[in-house]
Amino acid sequence: MASEKDTLVIESADQMWRPNSRRDFLRLLGIGGSVVLLPSVFAACGSDDPMGPPGGGGGGGGGGGGAVSLNLSNDVGILNYAYALEQLEAGFYSAVLASSVFSSLSAEIREVMVDLRNHEVIHREFLARVLGPNAIPALGLNAATVATATANRDSILRTAEQFEDLGVSAYNGAGKYLTDVGNLLVAGKIVSVEARHAAAIRDIREALGAPGTSRFAGDDIINAQGLDVKLEPAAVLSRVAATNFVTTQISIGTNPSGTATADAPPPTSI
- For the bound state, the minimum distance from the C-beta of residue 27 to other proteins, rounded and expressed in Å, comes to 6
Which residue's CB is nearer to other proteins, number 90 or number 246? 90
Cβ(84)–Cβ(68) under 8 Å? yes
- For the bound state, the minimum distance from the C-beta of residue 242 to other proteins, rounded and expressed in Å, comes to 23
- For residue 55, the 8-state DSSP code is T
Return phi, psi of residue 55, to 5°.
Answer: 85, -10
Contact residues for 55 (Cβ-Cβ < 8 A; gap 6+) = 16, 17, 22, 25, 26
Which residue's CB is nearer to other proteins, number 11 or number 108? 108
- For the bound state, the minimum distance from the C-beta of residue 101 to other proteins, rounded and expressed in Å, comes to 18
Return phi, psi of residue 253, to 5°.
Answer: -80, -40
- For the bound state, the minimum distance from the C-beta of residue 1 to other proteins, rounded and expressed in Å, comes to 19
Which residue's CB is nearer to other proteins, number 14 or number 148? 14
- For the bound state, the minimum distance from the C-beta of residue 76 to other proteins, rounded and expressed in Å, comes to 11
Identify the helix (H) or strand (E) that includes residue 62.
none
Q: What is the spatial distance between Cα 154 and Cα 106, in angstroms, rounded to a whole number?
A: 12
**Among 52, 43, 47, CA closest to 16:** 52
Cβ(50)–Cβ(60) under 8 Å? yes
- For the bound state, the minimum distance from the C-beta of residue 72 to other proteins, rounded and expressed in Å, comes to 10
- For residue 245, the 8-state DSSP code is -
Which residue's CB is nearer to other proteins, number 36 or number 244? 36
Query: Under the phi-then-psi rule, with left for phi > 0, alpha for psi from -120 to 50, and beta for the rest, what region is 31?
Result: alpha
Which residue's CB is nearer to other proteins, number 249 or number 255? 255
Cβ(173)–Cβ(194) under 8 Å? no
Helix H segments across the chain?
19-31, 39-43, 75-98, 107-131, 143-149, 153-174, 181-207, 233-243
Which residue's CB is nearer to other proteins, number 194 or number 248? 194
Which residue's CB is nearer to other proteins, number 5 or number 27? 27
- For the bound state, the minimum distance from the C-beta of residue 68 to other proteins, rounded and expressed in Å, comes to 13
